[in-house]
């Protein structure tokens, strides 16, 4: 079974407003609601690829209930922990002459709530995969990821997609996959990444620190995978017009995991990951199966 962890999921309210003017009444031209959070995005893409997941994390209030019910209707299993304080956040993303985002706070997660999550992850067993992604909410301690991971059976496959400091702290647990982008990779070592050679060099440095497979996304320049067998795979970018960057990286992670499960081949996993990331980037929401297959056929 694959489990995704989203500590602070959200309902993303995406609106289109022509010529937004502050201090006045503005009316939406278009509106959509998406189920947000990096782990949630991974579950949604894997669901499109017919791979079952269970989404873990914290929800609260009527918005949390709406998120859970919405995911269940899509066929995604959930085992969220409902907390009593606050509500699952609503993030407003407005597209107008300029793009504007207003992100909600999310609920208060106390130690007792977190202990329930730790008990959940302790039940994972050999052959399971857990995907932990996103930032840690301000109400939780900076060692949250480490506390979760330290509860895992060593035979559980660990995938981590997080920012610099969070990612570096978990390398000692030998994650199956990490996915920094080229900018984040440079920040980890205080260097500017100028070439594929640089990407490969520093990806191998992360392997020396414990990562098994390092997938580096490079926006318009494609992606590079340095796998645990020492093989370097370079994949060109999918061709299309980028209209949305939200969820593209999560889609790449989901596609990579799906590709590896289906083929047991890292190069094929990279190809499907690239297709999923591109398909999401080329559309207003997360990619559908048909959109992914269309992009995949061009790679």
DSSP state of 45: H
12, 113, 227, 250: which is the annotated catalytic residue? Answer: 250
Element (H, E) at 161: strand 157-161
Q: Would you list the DSSP string of 177-242?
A: EE--BHHHHHHHHT----SHHHHHHHHHHHHHTT-SEEEEE-GGG-EEEE-TTS-EEEEPPPPS--
Query: What are the start-end ranges of the H helices in the chain?
Result: 38-48, 61-73, 111-121, 144-150, 164-170, 182-189, 196-208, 248-263, 266-281, 289-296
How far out from the chain centre does Cα 280 lie? 12
Which among 148, 213, 154, 147 has a CA at the least distance from the CA of 5? 148
The region, left, alpha or beta by phi > 0 then psi within -120 to 50, assigned to residue 169 is alpha
Q: Catalytic annotation on 196?
A: no
The region, left, alpha or beta by phi > 0 then psi within -120 to 50, assigned to residue 19 is left
Residues catalogued as catalytic: 250
């Amino acid at each position: 079974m694959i489990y995704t962890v989203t500590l602070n999921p959200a309902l993303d309210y995406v609106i289109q407003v022509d010529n937004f003017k502050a201090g006045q009444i503005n009316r939406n031209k278009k509106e959509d609601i998406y189920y947000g959070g990096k782990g949630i995005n991974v579950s949604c893409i894997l669901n499109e690829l017919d791979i079952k997941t269970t989404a873990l994390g914290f929800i609260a209030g009527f918005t949390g209930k709406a998120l859970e019910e919405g995911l269940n209707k899509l066929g995604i299993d959930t085992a969220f922990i409902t907390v009593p304080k606050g509500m699952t956040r609503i993030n407003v993303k407005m597209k107008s002459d300029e793009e504007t985002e207003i992100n909600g706070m999310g609920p208060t997660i106390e130690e007792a709530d977190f202990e329930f999550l730790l008990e959940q992850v302790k039940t994972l067993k050999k052959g399971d995969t857990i995907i932990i992604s996103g930032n840690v909410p301000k109400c939780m301690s900076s060692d949250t990821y480490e506390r979760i991971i330290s509860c895992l059976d060593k035979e559980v496959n660990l995938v981590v997609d997080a920012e610099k400091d969070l990612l570096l702290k978990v390398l000692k647990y030998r994650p199956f996959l990490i996915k920094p982008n080229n900018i984040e990779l440079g920040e980890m070592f205080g260097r500017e990444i100028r070439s594929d050679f640089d990407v490969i060099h520093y990806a191998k440095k992360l392997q020396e620190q414990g990562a098994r497979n390092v997938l580096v996304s490079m926006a318009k320049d494609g992606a590079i995978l340095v796998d645990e067998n020492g093989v370097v795979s370079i994949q060109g970018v999918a061709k299309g017009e980028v209209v949305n960057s939200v969820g593209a990286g999560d889609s790449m992670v989901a596609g990579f995991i799906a590709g590896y499960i289906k083929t047991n081949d890292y190069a094929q996993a990279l190809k499907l990951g690239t297709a999923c990331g591109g398909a999401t980037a080329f559309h207003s929401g997360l990619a559908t199966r048909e959109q992914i297959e269309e992009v995949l056929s061009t790679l």
